[in-house]
Chain A
Amino acid sequence: MEHSTTMPQADIPAAKKHKRPLTAARIVLSVCKWLGLTVLCVLFLFPIWWMVISSFKPQTVIYEQLDSFMTFLPSTWNIGEWFDSYINLFNSFEYFGTAIGNSVLYCAVTVAGVLLVNSLAGYALARLEFPGSRFISTLIILLIIVPVETSIVPQYVILSQLGLLASPASRVVGYLLPSIVSAFYIFMFRQYFMGMPRELEEAAEIDGAGKLKTFFVIMMPLAKAIFATVAIFTFMGAWNEYVFADLMFPQARQKPLQAFLQLVNTYNPKDLSMVMAALTVSTIPIAIVYIFCQRYIVEGVSFSGLK
Chain B
Amino acid sequence: MERMLKTDEIELAAPMAQAEEPVPAESISPGGKPPKRKSRYFRFLGRTYKKDNTVVGLLFTLPAIVLGCIFVIAPMVVSLSYSFTDAYLLRLDEIHFTGIEQFKKVFSDGFLWNAFGNTMVFVVITVPVQLCVALGLALILNSKIKANTFFRWAFFVPVMLSLAVTSFLWGNLFEQDGLINALLVKLGIGEQPFLDDPGQAMGIIIFISIWQGAGYQMLIFLSGLKNIQPEIYEAASLDGANATQRFFYITIPNILPTFSFVLITMLIGAFRLITQPMIMTQGGPEDGTMTMSYYIYQQGITFRDVGYSSAIAMVYTVFMSVIALTLRKVMDVKN
Complex Cα gap A123–B164 (Å): 35
Cβ-based interface call for B116 (8 A) = no
On chain A, the residues within 8 Å of B177 by CB distance are 63, 66
**B234-271 interface mask toward A, CB cutoff 8 Å, 1 = contact, 0 = none?**
00011110100000000000000110011000001001
Contact B79 A242 (CB under 8 A): no
Given A130-B58, A148-B76, A153 and B64 touching (CB < 8 A)? no
Complex Cα gap A7–B237 (Å): 10
Cβ-based interface call for B288 (8 A) = no
Cβ-based interface call for B125 (8 A) = no
Complex Cα gap A117–B60 (Å): 8
Cβ-based interface call for A262 (8 A) = yes
On chain A, the residues within 8 Å of B147 by CB distance are 34
| Contact among B164, B258, B296 for A261, CB-based, below 8 A | B164
Q: Give chain B interface residues in 278-318, CB to chain A under 8 Å.
A: 278-279, 292-293, 296-297, 300-301, 306, 309-310, 313-314, 316-317
Contact A279 B168 (CB under 8 A): yes
Contact B155 A40 (CB under 8 A): yes
Interface-located stretch among A8-16, A86-94, A223-231: A8-16
Contact A240 B164 (CB under 8 A): yes
Cβ-based interface call for A23 (8 A) = no
Given A156-B300, A243-B278, A4 and B173 touching (CB < 8 A)? no
Contact B261 A305 (CB under 8 A): yes
On chain A, the residues within 8 Å of B56 by CB distance are 124, 128, 211-212
On chain A, the residues within 8 Å of B242 by CB distance are 7
Contact B53 A307 (CB under 8 A): no
Contact B278 A8 (CB under 8 A): no
Complex Cα gap A118–B239 (Å): 49
Q: Give chain A interface residues in 115-158, CB to chain B under 8 Å.
A: 116-118, 120-121, 123-125, 127-131, 133, 136, 143, 145-158
Cβ-based interface call for A98 (8 A) = no
Q: In this complex, what residue of B is CB-closest to A116?
A: B63
Contact B163 A242 (CB under 8 A): yes
Q: In this complex, what residue of B is CB-closest to A133?
A: B57
Q: In this complex, what residue of A is CB-closest to B293?
A: A150
| Contact among B47, B75, B216, B320 for A131, CB-based, below 8 A | B47
Give the size category of A's interface with B: 35 or more
On chain A, the residues within 8 Å of B321 by CB distance are 146-147
Contact A305 B258 (CB under 8 A): yes
| Contact among A7, A130, A151, A265 for B76, CB-based, below 8 A | A151
Q: Give chain B interface residues in 10-29, CB to chain A under 8 Å.
A: 17, 20, 22
Complex Cα gap A302–B147 (Å): 23
Q: In this complex, what residue of B is CB-closest to A50?
A: B179
Cβ-based interface call for B124 (8 A) = no
Contact B173 A47 (CB under 8 A): yes
Give 27 A-B contacts (CB < 8 Å), ordered by A residue. Answer: A12-B237, A43-B211, A47-B173, A66-B178, A67-B186, A121-B63, A125-B61, A129-B54, A130-B53, A133-B61, A145-B325, A146-B324, A150-B274, A153-B300, A153-B309, A154-B79, A154-B310, A157-B82, A181-B63, A181-B64, A181-B72, A186-B64, A198-B17, A272-B172, A301-B223, A304-B261, A305-B224
Q: Identify the 4 closest CB pairs spanning chains A and B, nearest first.
A: A153-B300, A128-B57, A240-B162, A154-B75
